[in-house]
Each structure stands twice: as C-alpha cells, then as structure tokens.
C-alpha cells in the first residue's frame, strides 16, 4: 500500500516466491489506484494463464513466467489486458467494497492515561522485559499491540495447548476488542490492548505459560513441522529450533544479540522461509543422514533479500554449535550493540561469517 | 460422434441444440495456444468460433473467450474437448455459448451432472462485480 499525491494505491510486485527456485518479486507498477486493484490483478492472472509454462508443472509458476519473459514483456502485456478489463468494472465492485469495509471499522478507542502501566513497569522487571520485546506501538494513543510468543524456550515453536488457546481467546474478548490474529511468524497478536490493561494481560499470560519475552530474538524461530510431522520433509526442524532456543536461553545472550530472524525449513520447499531469514537453516538428506545448510543475509523486510548459502551443510549434532559460533562471533564483529546481525553482515560481507562457521578452513 | 451441451441439455446435432448464429461468416477452429495478438476483424466476423480444450487442466480457453468477447465478438462461441461438468459454470461465465465433448466423455458425465451446473448465473461473483450498480 502506498500513496501518490494523497491518493491511496498499491505498488504491484510480481514473480516473487521461495521454494526450490527462490526469487524476489519485481515491481510491475509503481502506483496503481486502489480502486483498480481487481481489474489489474485479473490482468496479471489472465496474462499468466496464456503465457505460463504448461510443459512442466514445477515451472508452472508466475515467478518462472516473469523470469523467462522478462518484466518488460509482462508489463506490456498486463497493461494492454488491464486497459481492456478496466472498462468492464462500472462501480458495483466499489459499492460492494464499501459494504465490506463497514464490517472492518476500527474499534472506538478510549484515549486515557495508564498510570497502572507505569507503576507496574517500575515494580516488575519481568513485565518490563516483556514490554520491551513483545509490545509494538499502536496508532491510537494509549493503546499497544501485544505479540504473544508461542516460542517458549525448548517447546515446539508455534504450538499452543487447548487451555492456552482458551486463555488467549478470553484475553482477546476482554482486552483487545474481541480481535486476535495469528502471525506468519507463528505467534498470536492481540491488536488493540489499552496500556492500562497490559499488567493484567501480562499476569494472565504468565500464569498460562505464554509470557515468553523473546519476540524478534534468536529464539523466536520460524520452523516448519519438518520430518516429525511432514511427509515431504527431508530433515527434522523442530528439534533444531528447540535446541537453538534452549542453548541461547542458557547462554543468557539473546537480549544482547538483539533482533535476529532465524528460520528453519525441513526441505527444499521452504515453508520455514529460510531464504529470507537473517540466518536460514535448510534441512536436507545426504546419504541417509540429516544435513543442515546455512544461508546468511536474507531479509523479509521492505528491502527483501535472499540469503546466500554459506557453504557445506552440518550434521544434526554440529548445527547448533555452528549457529553458536556464528552468533557469538557476530557479537565480536559488530560495530556497536545497536548494529544488528543483518546490518553487520551487510557491512562486512560474507567472509568473516563464513570463517566463523568453518574455522578449520582458516 | 460428439455431444453438444447447452443450458437445456444434451444434443447430438447442431440444429437440435437450437444455436442459430446470425453471422453469415465461416466457422473457425482455434487451438488453446492461439495468440490473442492474432485476433483480427476477419476472425471477429466468424459465424462460430470453436476453441479446443486439450485437457481439463488447461484453462487458456477461458481467457481466450473473455478476450474475444471483449473485442466485440458476438457470434457463437463453443468450448470443444476435454471439459468436466464442474467447469460448465465457468465455461458459460467466460463467454462460451455451449460445450462440445466426445460421446465417451458424455457417458462418464451424464446429463444430470451438467444440468446441476446449468444455472450458471447463480453465485456469479465476478459478474456481480461488473454490474453497473448492486
């Protein structure tokens, strides 16, 4: 979503995707008026339908079509198709959109001070730490966005028990205008919590074992189900995530390490999005044993970037020590405590990080 | 022999299917890999255009039908080939008048399966979005 001269619209990006052929999407159009989204998206699908590969189902992907034909060719075709499709939309779509939008109105926010919040922050270091990592600023004054971490060190990332789910649903009902969202990072979001309610929410979460203060840190790992559950997997993901989280909890270093996105996939299909992790781990099978490949420098943010493979894979026993060497080494390498792992990597390049992973090659 | 399927049922010949295009022009057969760049005025004058669907998984004919209609083609448009009854609604919504399948395929998919989808305007969400007003 973007704006041009005050008007709302979209930057349209096509041809991105992970899996066995990871690609960053390319900008098809810098600005598309919001009202023209449907005909434009239809034009893209329509062009892809005629142009996409049909000889090989693994190549029947928009990313492959864009890659093979070039963004200029796709753009010319999409714009021509869009000009034709646009005339078919005569206003009913916008009317329907308005009706739908009426169901998604922002709640009525109450702007008042939250003395309980400040007092409890003084009193409880646990609360203070949780607020530091798990709270995101809200656009409405006096409100906060709460991320409930489902990444308790040593537990299965993204899992919640039935009892925990009931607690979260009750909290959403009472304190978040009856809204609760699931994030792709395998956590739960309470989108509109008044700051004065944060101490109560925190206490309830802590009682339910849901107050882990690690959002955005190294133990907040995205891990696919891996070979423990998935028929496609070539290696286990969950035990690796658990071991990394437990190890860094023991080292008591993760708050010092700071923002670090670690993502694990148990096969080439990349459900764990390892290509866009600051550190990515891809579990493969090599001659009957699990082998874990590390990618570095990926970024799922606004400056999307695919990570690059650091070198040969590590066995199941060696992967956690390798990650530990890498992260401890980063602490030595970083310019100051504010420089994140990704920033250090971008500043210094791959070489010093590879040296940390493969010390014998020195 | 092939079977022609319309909203009102199965027909084994063109006349019985009650399709009587007014165009004087010829009948044209297109393959599913037809390039829409080749849409000419001459083509748009055809009495009937038949587009081949080589498999139910090949959806190019749907896009071609929409494009022909958006270029102002008003003649008869027929989908020919391997089409499943489930797809009938979408075939009609994209601008085809009827469907032509082999007898063999018609035996596997009897009339009732097609008739269940004959009311193709029902739940036509795309059509609804393209009306003047709700």
Tell me the per-residue pLDDT of A117-136, one tens digit each, with 9 for 90 and over: 888 988 999 999 999 999 99
Cα-Cα-Cα-Cα torsion B35, B38, B44, B47, nearest 10 degrees, comes to -70
Hey, is the C-beta of A113 within 8 angstroms of any chain B C-beta? no
Looking at residues A44-58, what average pLDDT do you find?
95
Nearest chain A residue to B70 by CA: give it: A84
**pLDDT of B58:** 94
Task: Inform me whether the pLDDT recorded for B17 exceeds 80.
Answer: no
Judge whether residue B1 has pLDDT over 90: no
Count up the domains in chain A and report the number.
Answer: 3
Query: Which site among A46, A51, A69 would you substitute to test the B interface, given the most B Cβ atoms closer than 10 Å to its Cβ?
Result: A46
- The helix/strand/coil state of B29 is strand
- Provide mean pLDDT across the span A52-62: 94
pLDDT tens readout for residues A174-185: 999 999 999 999
Same domain, A297 and A343: yes
What mean pLDDT do residues B12-23 have?
62
Q: In which domain, by residue range, is A190 found?
A: 115-207
Mean pLDDT of chain A: 95
DSSP helix/strand/coil, B13: coil
Distance CA A282, CA A89 (A): 45
Does any CB of chain A come closer than 8 Å to the CB of residue B15? no
Residue A11 in any domain: the answer is yes
User: CB-CB: which of A46, A54, A85 is closest to B58?
Assistant: A54
| Beta carbon pairs, A and B, within 8 Å | 41
B-contacting residues in A 15-44 (Cβ below 8 Å): 38
* Domain stop point among A37, A71, A104: A104
Supply the pLDDT for residue A116. Answer: 85
Whether residue A325 is predicted with pLDDT greater than 70 in this model: the reply is: yes
Each domain of chain B, given as residue ranges in start order, spans 2-9+24-33+40-120
On the question of pLDDT at B133 being above 80, the answer is no
A321 and A199 within one domain: no
Inform me whether the pLDDT recorded for A50 exceeds 90: yes
| Span A159-169, pLDDT tens digits | 999 999 999 99
Are A336 and A305 members of one domain? yes
Question: Does A321 map to a domain?
Answer: yes
User: Are A18 and A59 members of one domain?
Assistant: yes
Whether the pLDDT of residue A361 is over 80: the answer is no
Interchain contact A100–B (C-beta under 8 A): no
Pairing of strands B48-53, B76-81: parallel
pLDDT at B22: 58
Residues from chain A that touch B132, judged by Cβ atoms under 8 A, are: 90-92
Residues of chain A found within 8 Å of residue B133, distances taken between Cβ atoms: 91-92, 95
CATH number, position A77: 3.30.413.10
Residue B132, pLDDT score: 74
Q: Is residue A343, in this structure, part of any structural domain at all?
A: yes
Query: In the predicted model, is pLDDT for residue B18 greater than 60?
Result: no
Neighbours of A358 (CB within 10 A): 15
**Which chain A residue's Cα is nearest to B32?**
A50
Asked if the structure places residue A213 within a domain, the reply is no
The CATH class of B2-9+24-33+40-120 is alpha beta
Residue A212 counted as domain residue: no
Res A362 pLDDT > 90: no
| Cβ–Cβ below 8 Å for A50 and B64 | yes
Q: Determine, for residues A91 and B128 on separate chains, whether the beta-carbon distance falls below 8 Å.
A: no
User: Which of B57, B63, B67 is the best substitution to test chain A (most A C-beta atoms within 10 A)?
Assistant: B63
Asked if A293 and A309 touch (Cβ cutoff 8 Å), the reply is: yes
Per-residue pLDDT of A270-310, as tens digits, reads 999 999 999 999 999 999 999 999 999 999 999 999 999 99
- State how far the Cα of A230 lies from the Cα of A170, in Å rounded to an integer: 32
CB contact under 8 A, B134 and A84: no
The CATH number of residue A131's host domain is 3.90.480.20
State percent of chain B over pLDDT 90: 78
Q: Inter-chain contact B130–A50, Cβ cutoff 8 Å?
A: no
CB spacing of A96 vs B128 below 8 angstroms: yes
pLDDT bin (cut points 50, 70, 90) of residue B16 is low
Report yes or no on A110 lying in a domain: no
Quick check: B14 pLDDT over 70? no
What is the pLDDT at residue A319? Answer: 98
pLDDT surpassing 60 at residue A341: yes
Task: Let me know whether A30 and A141 are in one domain.
Answer: no
In a domain, A254, yes or no: yes
Q: What share of chain A has pLDDT > 70, as a percent?
A: 99
Nearest C-alpha of chain B: how many angstroms from A336?
Answer: 55
| Disruptive mutation site among B71, B82, B129, B133 for chain A (greatest number of A CBs within 10 Å) | B129
Task: Quick: pLDDT tens for A201-247.
Answer: 999 999 999 999 999 999 999 999 999 999 999 999 999 999 999 99
Q: Are residues A279 and A157 in the same domain?
A: no
pLDDT at A15: 97
Q: How large is the average pLDDT for residues B73-86?
A: 95
Calculate the alpha carbon distances from B101 to B3, B7, B80 in Å. Answer: 5, 14, 6
Q: Is B62 an interface residue toward A (CB < 8 Å)?
A: yes
Give the pLDDT confidence score for residue A203 in this predicted structure: 97
Q: From the candidates A38, A43, A44, A54, which should be mutated to test the interface with B, based on the most B CB atoms within 10 A? A: A54
List, for residues A21-33, the tens digit of each pLDDT value.
999 999 999 999 9
């Amino acid at each position: 979503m973007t704006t041009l001269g005050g008007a709302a619209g979209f930057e349209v990006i096509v041809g991105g995707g992970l899996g066995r052929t990871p690609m960053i999407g390319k900008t098809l159009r810098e600005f598309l008026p919001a009202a023209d989204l449907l005909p434009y998206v239809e034009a893209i699908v329509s062009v892809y339908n005629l142009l996409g590969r049909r000889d090989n189902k693994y190549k029947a992907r928009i990313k492959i079509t864009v890659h093979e034909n070039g963004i200029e060719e796709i753009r010319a075709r999409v714009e021509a198709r869009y000009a034709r499709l646009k005339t078919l939309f005569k206003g009913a779509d916008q009317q329907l959109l308005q009706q739908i939008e009426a169901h998604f109105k922002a709640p009525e926010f109450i702007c008042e001070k939250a003395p309980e919040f400040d007092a409890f922050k003084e009193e409880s270091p646990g609360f203070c730490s949780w607020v530091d990592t798990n709270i995101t600023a809200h656009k409405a004054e006096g409100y906060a966005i709460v991320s409930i971490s489902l990444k308790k060190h040593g537990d299965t990332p993204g899992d919640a028990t039935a009892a925990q789910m009931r607690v979260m649903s009750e909290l959403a009902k009472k304190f978040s205008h009856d809204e609760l969202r699931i994030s792709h990072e395998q956590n739960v979001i309470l989108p509109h919590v008044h700051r004065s309610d944060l101490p109560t929410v925190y206490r309830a979460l802590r009682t339910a074992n849901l107050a882990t203060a690690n959002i955005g840190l190294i133990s907040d790992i995205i891990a696919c189900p891996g070979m423990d559950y998935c028929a496609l997997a070539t290696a286990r993901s969950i035990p690796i995530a658990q071991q990394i989280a437990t190890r860094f909890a023991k080292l008591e270093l993760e708050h010092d390490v700071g923002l670090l996105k670690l993502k694990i996939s148990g096969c080439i299909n990349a459900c764990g999005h390892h290509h866009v992790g600051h550190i990515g781990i891809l579990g493969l099978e090599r001659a009957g044993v699990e082998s874990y490949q590390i990618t570095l420098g990926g970024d799922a943010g606004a400056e999307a970037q695919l990570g690059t493979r650091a070198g040969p894979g590590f066995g199941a026993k060696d992967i956690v020590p390798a990650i530990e060497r890498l992260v401890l080494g980063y602490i030595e390498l970083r310019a100051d405590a504010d420089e994140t792992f990704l920033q250090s990597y971008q500043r210094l390049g791959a070489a010093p990080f590879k040296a940390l992973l493969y010390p014998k090659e020195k | 022999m092939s079977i022609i399927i319309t909203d009102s049922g199965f027909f084994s010949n063109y006349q019985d299917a009650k399709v009587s295009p007014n165009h004087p022009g010829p009948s044209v057969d297109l393959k599913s890999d037809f390039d829409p760049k080749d849409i000419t005025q001459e083509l748009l004058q055809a009495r009937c255009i038949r587009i081949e669907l080589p498999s139910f998984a090949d959806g190019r004919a749907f896009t071609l039908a929409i494009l022909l209609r958006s270029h102002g083609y008003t003649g008869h448009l027929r989908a020919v080939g391997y089409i499943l009854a489930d797809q009938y609604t979408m075939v009609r919504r994209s601008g085809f008048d009827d469907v032509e399948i082999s007898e063999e395929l018609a035996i596997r998919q009897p009339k009732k399966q097609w008739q269940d989808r004959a009311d193709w305007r029902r739940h036509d969400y795309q059509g609804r979005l393209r009306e003047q007003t709700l």
